[in-house]
Amino acid sequence: MNQWHRRPGQTVVEYLLTTLCLVTFFAAMYGFMQQQLKDLFIQAGMVILRTYY
């Protein structure tokens, strides 16, 4: 008997759940990184302005 035999549809459900988890993770990281990058660019801009003015 094949130990890797799965019920029909189980693989599809696993792929859908994995995709949902990854999309949620990357959406959350995008929201977090967007704010971090905004702050980083503001700080860099302040350094540049202080250097030349």
DSSP assignment string, 1-53: --TT---TTHHHHHHHHHHHHHHHHHHHHHHHHHHHHHHHHHHHHHHHHHHH-
Q: Which two tokens stand for residue 19?
A: 């995709």
pLDDT tens sequence across 37-51: 999 999 999 999 998
Kindly report, residue by residue over 1-53, the tens digit of the pLDDT: 456 666 777 888 999 999 999 999 999 999 889 989 999 999 999 999 998 88
Q: What is the pLDDT of residue 3?
A: 62
Tokens linked to 35: 């704010």
* pTM of the entire predicted model: 0.56
